[in-house]
Structure 1
Amino acid sequence: MMRSVLFLATNLAVVLTFGVFLNIILPALGIQTGNMMGLLIFCMLFGVGGSFISLMLSKKMALMSVGGKVIDTPQNSEERWLVNTVARLAKQAGLPMPEVALYQSPDINAFATGSGKDKSLVAVSTGLLHSMNQDEREAVLAHELSHIANGDMVTMALIQGVLNTFVMFFARIVAEIISNAVRSNNQSGEGLGFLARMGIIFVMEMVFGLIASVIAMWFSRQREYRADAGAGCLVGKEKMIAALQRLKQSQPSHLEGQLTAFGIIGRPRDLLSSHPSLDDRIRALQSAS
């Protein structure tokens, strides 16, 4: 539950922070809620722009959050195997060589991030290297490289940016509707005050932000199936099935926040889960031709 709460809290924090800036900037520029196009353009600038700024910083933030270190020169046989396998699979998938990082964690997990195919990162936990056999590790790496090949990081950033745009836009439309209703019932003809309007916008951004997170997580779950299928094409679906079955025996992942969207394992399915259940993923691979 904590990972979904953190994902939701992170996204809501972005929306609410940009919302405060919009509440200050829009009146200063003379843009009223009635000017739909102007309002939508500014919401898009903040919503999509903020999402892509986060994407640009994703590698650095991801490494900081897990304490990962990029492997520049492999120091042992495990690191050499890891770098060589990523290089081989990347070449097989037609990708530039991503950066490879290792982080200390008992979790069996890995994730991919980065702002593009030529600026990507694959990070692997020590728990994965120590708990999986070679075929299973190879399948997990193929899964992460499939995320990169499918452009999932950019796609999810775009989806989140568009959703954030409409969260901020419709929150202000609802506040204006309420303000107009108050004005029509007020003998003085006054609508909501600034603080009251801010409060309504804040609440509506939280409500619409929750709905947006449900939509974003649905897209994330679909892309997990695609990454599993991509791994099956790269190394064989039996290896990917074996890796998923091994993951069923592992302890819950401690990846936090938005990193869960591109980890190999998530929590059991629900509306705010970034991953389908492992059983569903296994069944999807087994039924694939």
Structure 2
Amino acid sequence: MNTMRTAMLLAFMTALFMGVGFLIGGRGGMMIAFVAAAAMNFFSYWNSDKMVLRSYHAQEVDERTAPEFYVMVRDLARNAGLPMPKVYVFDSPQPNAFATGRNPENAAVAASTGLLQRLTPEEVAGVMAHELAHIENGDTLTMTITATLAGAISMLSNIAFLFSGGRDNRNNPLGVIGVIVAMIVAPLAATLVQMAISRTREYAADRRGAEICGQPRWLASALQKIAGDASRIENVDAERNPATAHMFIINPLNGQRMDNLFSTHPDTRNRVEALLAMNDIGPKGSTPAEPTAKATRRAQSVPKTGWGRGNSSPPQGPWS
């Protein structure tokens, strides 16, 4: 199912490239766009995760550089029955996180310094369990490729703008009208592709994430905090790369909190209500919570600089 979904996405993106190429340069533009799309599809499959991580200047961490965070992810991955993903931290005051990678064997999770500094260890565990759920569900390949190709489609609007400055483009059968249509369609298409990533996946990842960490309330509390901070703390890199917004657990762009057709994420209140409707998952649940509980107990004794650069004090859990 995930393979078919990814194949359909790539086919749609290729057709979209060709259509915009035709509007800009006629048959010649369409053929150039086809070749470019084919090359980009191949490149995106193997490298889109690296491109996304690079765009956020994410730094890989390990048990030596971020022991509490790394051990927490390791315990959660064990709970989920997943291979240990690579663990990254990116510098942003906005609390947020995302997952990427073409499959569970080549996956990565990334958290912002704001997330590690502003949330309790339990809430961080809930967030990372959600991201691991995306990896387990096979969402990360589709989401990462979408982010890369949507950004590329947006760049076509700049190409269209350059064409519009020319005196004459006889290769374009629609003339100036075709260029104007391309200028409008390209950025709109980037948004539509983001929305093609079904928002129901967030609900599924929330539920599975609650099972992985064993406590739905941890994730519910984290979502409320992240949503509140995301609306007032700017994520500069996300604003520069809006095509990646759907990859985050909460939309990192300002002013998009509505649960409607044009939102990349479900309304946070709906997600929280769904989580609170779940019973806490203890030893009787399908996934044990003990490894994660151990990780968060270890986090209680974190040194002052253990959770993020510039953190003035260790995060305090609700047990304090």
Which interval holds the TM-score relative to the shorter structure? Answer: 0.5 to 0.7
Show CA shifts across 1:78-102 (max 9, x none): x111111111111221211111011
Residues in 1 aligned to 2:148 and 2:91: alpha-carbon distance in whole angstroms: 32
**TM-score under structure 1 normalisation?**
0.67
State yes or no: 1:194 paired with 2:198: no
Closer, same or farther in 2 for the Cα pair 1:72/1:84, shift >3 Å?
closer
Task: Tell me, in whole angstroms, the C-alpha distance in 2 between the residues paired with 1:21 and 1:72.
Answer: 49
Give the aligned partner of residue 246 of structure 2: 261
Partner of 2:51: 61
Q: 1:21 to 1:111 in 2, by over 3 A?
A: farther
Taking a change above 3 Å as real, the CA distance of residues 143 and 200 of structure 1, as seen in their structure-2 partners, is same
1:225 aligns with 2:203: yes
What are the ranges of 5 or more consecutive residues in structure 2 without an aligned counterpart? 1-12, 151-168, 280-320
What code does the residue aligned with 1:224 have?
A: E
Q: Give the TM-score normalised by structure 2.
A: 0.61
- 8 Å contact from structure 2 (residues 102, 140) kept in 1: yes
Deviation, 1:132, is: 0.5
Distance in 2 (CA, whole Å) between partners of 1:125 and 1:160 is: 18
**1:7 is matched with which residue?**
none
Q: d(CA) in 2 for partners of 1:134 and 1:54?
A: 34
Instruction: Note closer, same or farther for the CA distance 1:23–1:84 as it changes in structure 2 (3 Å cut).
Output: farther
Structure-2 change in CA distance of 1:102 and 1:134 (3 Å): same
- Once the two structures are TM-superposed, the CA of residue 196 in structure 1 deviates from its matched residue by 3.3
Secondary structure (helix, strand or coil) at the match of 1:276 reads coil
1:142 aligns with 2:129: yes
Alignment of 1:246-257 (within 5 A): 246-252=225-231, 254=235, 255=238, 256-257=241-242
**Cα distance between partner residues in 2 of 1:147 and 1:102:** 18
Alpha-carbon separation, structure 2, partners of 1:64 and 1:241: 29
Gaps of 5+ in 1: 1-10, 29-41, 164-191
The answer to whether 1:214 aligns with 2:216 is no
Are positions 1:271 and 2:268 aligned together? Answer: no
1:245 counterpart (198, 208, 224): 224
> What is the distance in 1 between the residues matched to 2:62 and 2:41?
29
CA contact (8 A) 1:220 1:261 kept: no
Greater alpha carbon shift after TM alignment, 117-126 vs 153-162: 153-162
Please say which of residues 234-243 and 247-256 is displaced more in the overlay: 247-256
Shift of residue 133, structure 1, vs aligned partner: 0.5
Q: Is 2:23 the partner of 1:23?
A: no
One-letter code of the match for 2:27?
A: N
Based on CA coordinates, which of the two structures has the bigger radius of gyration? Answer: 1
- 1:124-143 map, 5 Å: 124-143=111-130
Structure number with higher helix proportion? 1
What is the SS of the residue equivalent to 2:99? strand
Once the two structures are superposed, residues 173-193 of structure 1 have per-residue CA deviations (whole angstroms, 9 ceiling, x without a partner) of xxxxxxxxxxxxxxxxxxx95
CA distance in 2, matches of 1:247, 1:217: 21
Q: How does 1:2-151 map to 2 (within 5 A)?
A: 15=17, 19=21, 23-24=27-28, 50-51=40-41, 53-72=43-62, 74-75=64-65, 79-151=66-138
Deviations 1:11-41 (A, max 9, x none): 89x937982688327679xxxxxxxxxxxxx
Preserved contact between residue 48 and residue 162 of structure 1 (Cα < 8 Å): no
Return the match for 1:285 from 242, 267, 275: 275
Inter-partner Cα distance in structure 2 for 1:17 and 1:211: 11
* Structure 1 residue 250 displacement after superposition: 1.2
How many residues align? The count is 233
* 2: CA distance, partners of 1:221 / 1:288: 19
Q: Give me the whole-angstrom Cα distance separating, in 2, the residues matched to 1:241 and 1:230.
A: 13
Paired with 2:132 and 2:26, the residues of 1 have a C-alpha distance of: 38
Deviation for aligned residue 1:129: 0.7
Residue 249 of structure 1 aligns to a residue whose secondary structure is helix
**Deviation for aligned residue 1:244:** 1.2
CA contact (8 A) 1:18 1:46 kept: no
Instruction: Give, in angstroms, the shift of residue 70 of structure 1.
Output: 0.7
Give the superposition deviation at 1:259: 2.7
**Contact conserved, 2:100 with 2:144, CA < 8 A, in 1?**
no
One-letter code of the match for 2:273? R
* SS across alignment from 1:143: helix
State the alpha-carbon separation in 2 of the partners of residues 70 and 132 from structure 1: 20
**Partner SS for 1:57:** helix
